[in-house]
Chain A
């Protein structure tokens, strides 16, 4: 309960900022029967909009599990998550998928770009998913790629780009459809220090918006300084925020 209290106190300290993600008593069990393990032990936390929130903690503490639930990729065993006022439990099946398509952007450790598509084509995918015609989607993607400093690499394939550049394409892809929530799982883990800094600066400068929450999971203590707020997890609980 001390965690919850701490969180609401911290939220009150930023009354001017909107709550983007509200987690309420999230529990997640993995596996069944004998082998079942409780990965999340009732997490209640608010993530504010217009901030870059870092989620840190030792390996296996449940960071990925938590952001997967927040992003609507996993169902919690119990508890609920609201994104800007919409409870995910109120959305089922296809509705949740559509909700995710419109409101969530993803950045993965391994970039996960489609190798046969150019940077611009890759970045346009979330718009294509929403049914935007391709030329218009590519145009939008070009604009965002310019924002992340890849205006000269629009037509490059992933294998012609460095790791840092690929991750910037991934960030462009995650932002092209203007999502309310951006989740990044270890976006700098596969990068050298310099590229990692560039990526974090970019997230801070381009991703953070008044009506958007940005959550970055990281192990990398060198990037802690980019966080407006740091949530620390251990053993399936938030231990400090």
Chain B
């Protein structure tokens, strides 16, 4: 009888496709919007999130996100180094600077100042140039998207100059970074250099980044730092989520995406549910005949569920395929979308949603079939 159910389903090509596309459309909306949402929100922690070497981040206790920073004093790094459990601790600057190029083009850039001696916090995806060149006077590295923003349409070339805070800077490397939320170019320089590229403040040390000694966990060392100093100390993970949490709480992003995702769910359920319902309704006479001929309710239920499942699996695959294709194409064509992709967690979550849609659609329609008086076949 399962075979009959399958035949019934694809005998009505138009309805069949409409139902499949309903599911696919819902899947596409949900999976795509969830992925973009997670991607965009994840960007709020960039480019800090790229810095994986130190696992401990020390900062002002009132800091709410990595974009609004109250500096520590330069000497604080020595206090951290002196604490038990700290293997090493170095300075890190993060701030905004204005970069101007010869054409007159200027951009606000995110400037990361990394430790002069160890270069901890340096970019790890260098596509042109050598990290060691960052030790040259006035040297900076820029991310590829930033290079294109400053010199649109021009091929990558090292040695180009630009000006920040009336000081000359020279490009010695081009790298990839995870796209930051603000879409600004990202520049790397040595700490001592970086603080010269921005307006002078009395204190400029944004973060102290550190690593635990063997035998200590990052969390233990964070606790020691918090106990021994007035600073906040967070592990990489905690700092990452602090940023995300801030933007989730203080922007309309979650509401906005939430609405689209809910729409995807509703539209998907409505289209799939309704077409599937109509499909069953139109086949009611056939189901009635089968019922008269001695097909039990359990069997009919199985048939309707099977039909729904087939529609669900095909619709889901199609929708996921379209979502993957969307990211594949769009992230190649639009540099600002780089790094956005379909997460397996979202694919799995969407599958659960599809199961819900399918159950909803079949329960809605199967009612009619189960309540059907077999005698209606004679009417």
Which residues from chain A sit less than 8 Å from chain B, CB to CB? 64, 67-68, 71, 73-74, 94, 97-98, 100-102, 104, 106, 108-110, 112, 114-117, 121, 125-126, 128-129, 134, 185
Contact = CB atoms under 8 A, between A and B. Distances in A.
Given A97-B296, A106-B289, A129-B295, 7 more contacts: A64-B375, A73-B378, A98-B296, A106-B377, A112-B285, A125-B293, A129-B294
A108 B377 contact: yes
B378 A114 contact: no
B286 A128 contact: no
Classify the interface of chain B: helix, strand, loop or mixed: helix
Given A64-B379, A73-B292, A112 B3 contact: no
B373 interface: yes
Contacts of B295: 97, 101, 129
Given A64-B378, A64-B379, A116-B10, A128 B4 contact: yes
B63 interface: no
A73 B3 contact: no
A64 B376 CA distance: 10
11 contacts: A73-B377, A98-B294, A101-B293, A108-B378, A112-B289, A116-B11, A117-B7, A128-B1, A129-B1, A129-B293, A185-B378
B375 A74 contact: yes
Contacts of A68: 375, 378
Nearest to B374: A73
Contacts, number: 74
Contacts of B1: 128-129
Nearest to A72: B374
A110 B285 contact: yes
A110 B11 CA distance: 19
Contact of B7 (A64, A102, A112, A121): A121
A73 B10 CA distance: 29
B96 interface: no
A101 B294 contact: yes
A94 B299 CA distance: 11
Q: Size range of the interface on B?
A: 20 to 34
A77 to B, nearest CB: 14
A73 B293 contact: no
B8 interface: yes
B354 to A, nearest CB: 25
Given A68-B378, A112-B285, A126 B373 contact: no
Given A73-B374, A94-B296, A125-B293, A114 B379 contact: no
A67 B11 CA distance: 31
A110 to B, nearest CB: 7
A114 B296 contact: no
A100 B294 CA distance: 6
Given A64-B378, A108-B377, A126 B10 contact: no
Interface string B274-316: 0000000000011011101111100000000000000000000
Contacts of B296: 94, 97-98
A104 B289 CA distance: 13
The interface centre, meaning the residue of B1, B377, B378 with most chain A CB atoms within 10 A of its CB, is: B378
Contacts of B4: 114, 117, 125, 128
A106 B1 CA distance: 18
Interface string B334-375: 000000000000000000000000000000000000000111
The interface centre, meaning the residue of B4, B290, B293, B295 with most chain A CB atoms within 10 A of its CB, is: B293
The interface centre, meaning the residue of B10, B285, B292, B373 with most chain A CB atoms within 10 A of its CB, is: B292
B228 interface: no
B130 interface: no
Contact of B11 (A101, A104, A115, A134): A115
A121 B3 CA distance: 10
B375 A112 contact: no
B12 interface: yes
Given A67-B378, A128-B1, A108 B289 contact: yes
B286 A114 contact: yes
Nearest to B289: A112
Contacts of B378: 64, 67-68, 73, 108-109, 185
